[in-house]
Chain A
C-alpha cells in the first residue's frame, strides 16, 4: 500500500508543477545564500593571502595581455577576410555569436544519484525550459524546470539524456546517451562504415531543439566492432568535468534560430575584385539581402530577425 503512494505523484505530475515551483522558490534562495556566504568568506581569505603575489602576477598578466593583443589583431584580420569570403559564397554564418547568459551554479541535485545542477538564473533572465547549457570545455545539459530566479539543469550524463553527435574527423552521425555515470556516456547508432577510432572528438550535430552545432561533447573510447550488425559500440568520455562546474553558460538563442546575416556590400566589393573571374552566379549571390524591419534590437551583431 505504501509503495503505491509515489504512483499517485506520477499520475498527478501535471497538477503538481505549481507545488514543485513553490518548493524551489522556498529552498533555492536559502541554497543560494549559503553558497554566497560561505564562498564570500572563503574568497575574502583567499584574496588576502594572494595579495602577497599580486605584484609579480600583475607584471606577468600585463605581458600576457600585450602578447594576446597582438594575436587578436592578427585574428581580427583573418575574421574579416573569412566574413568576406563567406558572404561571397552565401554560407550561413555558423559561427554567429551565440546569445549566452552566464549563470552561477548554486546547488546539485538533492540525491547523490541525481544528475542535475541548480543555477541562479531563471525565466526572469530569459532562461526557458529546454535551453542548452554549456561550459567553455563543452556541453553540460539542458534546462528541465525553471522558476523566476532559478533553474534546474539535467546533465548529459543522466540516464534519460541523449544528444545527437557528429564525429569531428569522419563527420559520421551518432547519438550520445547518458549512463548515470558522471565520467562516461554511451555511443549509439554509430555506423560501422564510419570507422570511428579511440580518441575521436565528438561534437554536437545541431538541429532544432538541440544544442548549437559544433560544440564539444567528448572523446570516443573503447570502440567495439562486433562481427555483425550495422552499428558499433563505444563509450564517450565527456569533455566537461561535471564535478568542477562553478559557472555555466545558458544558450538563449543559437545560430540555428537565426537567419543568415545580411552581406555588407562594402566588404564584398574588395574581395570580389580580388577574385580572378567571378561567375554570374557568384555576382548574383553578392547582392545584399534586405534586412527585415522588425529585427530585434537586442539581437547579436550580424544576426537577422529571430523567428
Chain B
C-alpha cells in the first residue's frame, strides 16, 4: 500500500466519522442536512485515479458506509464502485478542479446515487418506496457543500505527493508513474 492510498484510507475514516456525527451536532431542524462525504471521496477518485486503484479505494469507502447501514452487506460498496465506474467512464465530460464545480458535481451525483440506492432497495425489499423524498435534496445540498473541502484536501494531498512539474487531471497519477 502506497503512502497516498494509506492517506486516502485515513481520509475515508475521517469522512465516515464526520458524516455520522455532524447531524447529531446540528439543531434538530437541520438534521436532514446529511452530507455524503464518502461519495465526495469516490467522485474525486473517479476524476483523478486509474481504474484498479480508484475502484479498490471506492470499494473501501462504500464498505465503511455498509458498516453502519444495517442492510445486507455489500450494497453501499456496490453503489460506491458503480458510481466510480460511471463517473470514471465519463470523466472527460467533467471538469471539477474544486470549488463550485466540485460542489455542483457532488450535488448531481448525490441525487443519482440516491436514485440508485432506492432502486436497489426496491429490488431487495418489497416494502421500499420508489417515491422521491425531500430529504434527498437536502442531502444533495449538504453533499455539494461538503465536497468542496474534501476535493481541496485531496487535491492538496495529491499535489504534495506528485513529482515536480506534474499537474492533476484524469489519469494524472498513472502518467506520473
Contacts and interface: CB of A to CB of B under 8 A. Distances in A.
A111 B40 CA distance: 12
27 contacts: A2-B59, A2-B84, A3-B81, A3-B82, A5-B77, A9-B74, A10-B72, A10-B73, A13-B72, A13-B73, A31-B20, A31-B21, A35-B21, A109-B68, A109-B70, A111-B38, A112-B142, A114-B76, A118-B20, A152-B68, A159-B127, A159-B128, A160-B70, A180-B128, A241-B28, A243-B28, A244-B31
A160 B73 contact: no
A110 B24 CA distance: 12
Contact of B19 (A110, A145, A184): A110
Interface in B72-91: 72-78, 81-82, 84-85
Interface stretch (B97-105, B114-122, B154-162, B166-174): B114-122
Interface of A: 2-3, 5-10, 13, 16, 20, 23-24, 26-27, 30-31, 34-35, 38-39, 42, 105-116, 118, 144-145, 152, 154, 158-160, 162, 177-182, 184, 186, 188, 241, 243-244, 246
Contacts of A241: 28
A200 to B, nearest CB: 20
Nearest to B52: A2
B70 A111 contact: no
B73 A111 contact: no
A244 B133 CA distance: 18
Contacts, number: 168
Contact of B78 (A3, A39, A158, A243): A3
B52 to A, nearest CB: 8
Contacts of B77: 5-6, 9
Given A6-B59, A9-B66, A116-B68, A107 B73 contact: no
- 10 tightest A-B CB contacts, nearest first: A177-B127, A159-B128, A6-B74, A179-B129, A6-B78, A112-B34, A107-B20, A114-B69, A112-B139, A2-B55
Nearest to B121: A159
B25 interface: yes
A118 B68 contact: yes
Given A31-B20, A107-B68, A109-B70, 7 more contacts: A109-B68, A110-B67, A112-B35, A112-B143, A178-B127, A180-B121, A181-B129
B35 to A, nearest CB: 7
Contact of B62 (A6, A27, A109, A180): A6
A54 B20 CA distance: 34
A2 B28 contact: no
A7 B62 CA distance: 13
A186 B129 contact: yes
Contacts of A7: 74, 78
Contacts of B63: 9
Contacts of B117: 111, 113
B93 interface: no
Given A3-B78, A116-B68, A181 B36 contact: no
B69 A179 contact: no
B127 A179 contact: yes
B164 interface: no
A20 B135 CA distance: 28
A6 B71 contact: no
A159 B125 contact: yes
A30 B20 CA distance: 11
A222 B28 CA distance: 27
Contact of A107 (B13, B21, B38, B75): B21
Contacts of A144: 70
Nearest to B30: A243
A113 to B, nearest CB: 4
Interface string B127-159: 111010101000100110000000000000000
Contacts of A158: 70-71
